[in-house]
Each structure stands twice: as C-alpha cells, then as structure tokens.
Amino acid sequence: DVIFLTSGEAGGHGRSRDETLRMREAEAATAAQILGIGSFDFWREPDGALEASPKNITRMYDAIMRSNPDTIFVTHSDEMHADHRAAEQIVRAAVGMCNGNAPNVLMYEVWTPMSTMDHIEDITAHMPVKLEAVRAYRSQCDVMAFDEAIAGLNRYRGEMHSWPGGPYAEVFREMKL
C-alpha cells in the first residue's frame, strides 16, 4: 500500500492547480503500475503546506492499523522539502501510537542526501524499472533532470556504500522512536 499525502498540485510550472493535481495523480498511478503497486491512496492534503496535524496523524495511525505493514518507508527528517519533513513527523507520531505493535520504519532520501544511514540495499537489478517509474512523472522530468539526479545519487551510493555490491544502491535510516 502506498499513501500519497499530497498530490503535488503546487508544482505545476505554469499549469493550474486542478490540472496539475490530475496530471500528478495520473503520473503517480502510472509509476505505481510500473512498480507493481496495486493499492494506493491520494489524501490530497495541501501541497506545500502538509502538517503533522492531529487529523493526519490519526488518519495515518488508522491506515497502519488497517494494513498492518511490516515496514513503512518515509522520507527522512532532514529533507529540504517541508512536506517531506512533515510526512516523517506524521509517520513518527502515528507509529508512536502503536503501543508495542509498531512496524519497522525506514527513512529514505529524495531531495536531500542523508548523512547517516544504517541500511544499504543493492538496487542494480531494479534500476531500469526504478528509472522507468521516475520518468512516469513527466511533468517533473520535463523541467528538471530528476531521473538523472536519482540515477546519479543511486550510483554514488552504490560506489561509496555498497561495495562490493552492484553499481547502484539505496540507503535507509531506521526510525528510532
């Protein structure tokens, strides 16, 4: 299960918020299909103004209780984008409510590389599919080389942290509650 907390409607690069919302959700659905993700939900919280509000924390807690995941992946706490930091705060608070039944939480990097990590995963075999999924976000890749940036970061992580693994890796940091 994947939860998209916002729909990216503020990042339309000249498009209306409504048009951007429809486009970004369609791109996300395409990326999910490429990755084989069958279940996803759009919460449509305000893009650029996501908050770790009691409503969002409770909603996340309810989603965790419903799906009972072993592991949750969320952006790390030092991400440059405020919505990414809020996502981490929402998950941290919701998982903290799980009373000894909490899933493992692994934080990952998007816009801001992590300085500390405790999990390294060789993703070389998955890199072509990952890049195809990233490129599904055409509205973003048309204005910045996001796919190349991701490939570069994963290549750096593979070379510096995955040795003697493959040339591409992702790193994660376990959330400590």
Q: What is residue 104's DSSP assignment?
A: E
The whole-number average pLDDT for the span 50-76 is 98
Q: What is the mean pLDDT of residues 85-103?
A: 96
pTM score above 0.85: yes
- What would the mean pLDDT of 58-63 be, rounded to a whole number? 98
Tokens of 42: 């759009």
Range 2-122 has CATH code 3.40.50.300: no
Nearest Cα to 99, choosing from 44, 61, 60? 61
Residues 119-134: what's their mean pLDDT?
A: 97
How distant is the alpha carbon of residue 56 from its chain centre? 17
138-175 in b/e form (b: 16+ CB < 10 A) is ebbbeeeebbeebbebbeebbeeebeebeebbbbbbeb
d(CA 2, CA 159): 29
